[in-house]
Amino acid sequence: MTSKIKINDLNLFYDDKQALHDINVTVKEKQVLSLIGPSGCGKSSFLRCINRMNDRVEGIRIKGKVMIDNLDIYDRAVDVVSLRARVGMVFQKPNPFPKSIYDNVAYGPKIHQQCATKGDMDHVVEKSLRRAGLWEEVKDRLDHAGTGLSGGQQQRLCIARAIAVNPEIILMDEPCSALDPIATAKVEELIDELREKYTIIIVTHNLQQAARVSQQTAFFHMGRLVEAGETGEIFTNPTDERTQGYITGRFG
């Protein structure tokens, strides 16, 4: 299976504090990688390195390489706007824009000038909402505010917004932590469907969720990647006692 993302010797500093230490990991194409570990262990900081969201934080320094296909995304020649079109992001708390459902999904394609006509845009909006499993629920009220949807629907709207620009990678930072069990099940089902087209990295505190949705799992502890591998192996036969301790609930 082809590698989509390769990370070599990644170190991240916030001023004098080192948040990530020598991270090396490969993410396979069209697979889901779950990032697990205690709070504050570097999972979200790591995730934000992959679309350069950390660029916005003052005093940040990054050493090492993040390669998507054969592109070093920290190369000075890389255009960050086009990078973020390739790497979509879904946050912990659903954050639809204060716009209509239609305009939420159309926002990215408009900015990146991906649609020549209104008909093209209509097609993209419908296709994205269908992929996010939301079309049947909202097709008769596309002009209503996205913020008026339920929490689970808002999160699926945010996923539709992320995929509307046709990215290759989707980053998800605890996308279900603010949702009820029914909405969570829908998002998990959606992640499984999206994997046919996208490479997905998800941060989750829910170990059962990691076991359900991912093919690969990486365990972080105190800013270090302790181990990474096939999800079944990590959960049933981890090589490091810290992983074993976290999975069995002895700490974290």
Question: Alpha-carbon distance 211 to 151, whole Å?
Answer: 24
pLDDT value, residue 252: 64
- Three-class SS of residue 130? helix
Which pTM value belongs to this model? 0.94
Question: How far from 33 is each of 5, 7, 183, CA to CA, in Å?
Answer: 11, 13, 21
pLDDT value, residue 1: 73
pLDDT value, residue 87: 96
Residues in the chain with pLDDT < 70?
A: 252
Question: How far from 8 is each of 26, 63, 66, 178, 225, CA to CA, in Å?
Answer: 9, 9, 7, 33, 12
**Alpha carbon 120 to chain centroid distance?**
26
Instruction: Check if the beta carbon of residue 54 is closer than 8 Å to that of residue 45.
Output: yes
pLDDT tens for each residue of 180-213: 999 999 999 999 999 999 999 999 999 999 999 9
Helix (H) or strand (E) segment spanning residue 81? helix 80-86
Query: What letter represents residue 95's amino acid?
Result: N
pLDDT value, residue 55: 87
Question: Alpha-carbon distance 152 to 184, whole Å?
Answer: 7
pLDDT value, residue 56: 84
- Within 8 A by CB and 6+ apart from 224, the residues are 20, 21, 22, 23, 42
Question: Alpha-carbon distance 210 to 202, whole Å?
Answer: 8
Question: Alpha-carbon distance 20 to 4, whole Å?
Answer: 21
* Total Cβ atoms within 10 A of residue 206: 17
